[in-house]
């Protein structure tokens, strides 16, 4: 059997599949940090889909930890993939809630609040961050 690992590029020969599946989390740590594409087409670090051998398991692990019910239509308007693209702060923790706001005509939407564990305060704009963990770029001075 030949198996090509996705990120390392090593070709493993004569490696039993059951042994490979048992130890893949220890040998190849990149398997633990896969970013999957949501049903809406954006990449999200909290979405998980298992389609191996006919399975069809999809879940949002961020909402699952918060105890909220997830459906596929929430991914279309979810702000989390945009926050993950704009801000990669390791200290910022997201807390999601599913609500039915009036401006969305009472359709279910994901609302996200953020908390910085380093500065220990709420983050008003999760796309930008708290402003203290990662210094913003220098200021431009216009000389005339």
Average pLDDT along the chain, 144 residues, taken 10 residues at a time? 46 47 45 75 92 90 94 94 91 94 89 94 92 74 76
- pLDDT of amino acid 54: 87
pLDDT attached to residue 96: 95
Measured between alpha carbons, how far is 23 from 66 in angstroms, rounded to an integer?
Answer: 30
CA-CA distances (angstroms) from residue 37 to 14, 41, 112? Answer: 32, 6, 20
Residue 108 lies in a domain: yes
- Domain assignment present for residue 144? The answer is no
Distance CA 130, CA 114 (A): 9
pLDDT of residue 88: 84
Give a yes or no: residue 136 inside a domain: no
Q: What is the pLDDT of residue 30?
A: 43
Q: Would residue 92 count as lying in a domain?
A: yes
What is the pLDDT at residue 144? 73
For residue 111, give its domain range.
Answer: 15-123
Residue 88 located in a structural domain: yes
Q: Is 52 within 8 Å of 87 (Cβ atoms)? A: no
């Amino acid at each position: 059997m030949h198996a090509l690992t996705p990120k390392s590029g090593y070709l493993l020969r004569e490696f039993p599949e059951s042994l490979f599946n048992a130890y893949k989390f220890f040998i190849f740590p990149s398997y633990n940090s896969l970013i999957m594409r949501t049903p809406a087409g954006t990449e999200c670090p909290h979405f998980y889909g298992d389609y191996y051998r006919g399975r069809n398991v999809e879940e949002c692990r961020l909402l699952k930890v918060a105890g909220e019910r997830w459906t596929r239509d929430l991914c279309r308007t979810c702000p989390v993939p945009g926050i993950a693209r704009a801000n990669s702060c390791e200290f910022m923790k997201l807390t999601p809630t599913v609500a039915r706001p009036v401006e969305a005509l009472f359709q279910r939407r994901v609302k996200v609040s953020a908390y910085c564990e380093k500065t220990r305060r709420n983050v008003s704009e999760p796309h930008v961050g708290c402003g203290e963990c990662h210094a913003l770029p220098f200021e431009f001075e216009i000389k005339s």
